[in-house]
Amino acid sequence: MWRGVVTIQSLMINLTGIARYFTLERYCLMAGHYLKVYFADRTHNKVKNN
């Protein structure tokens, strides 16, 4: 009885950990993408102004 509860609990913990990892990865990718776009925009504007 208790063993089943423990396995379910550990499964849930693993799932939340995996989900957290994936969201973290996605946020990092999004942040990197926005930084790239931002810096590309700034350099482009610098070139335009000169």
Q: What is the pLDDT of residue 44?
A: 80
pLDDT in tens, 1-50: 667 778 888 988 899 998 988 999 999 999 999 999 999 988 887 777 65
**Secondary structure class of 11 (helix, strand, coil):** helix
d(CA 11, CA 32): 31
Q: What is the pLDDT of residue 5?
A: 77
Tokens of 50: 């000169």
Q: What is the pLDDT of residue 28?
A: 92
d(CA 20, CA 7): 20
Q: What is the pLDDT of residue 50?
A: 55
Question: Nearest 5°: phi and psi at 14?
Answer: -60, -45
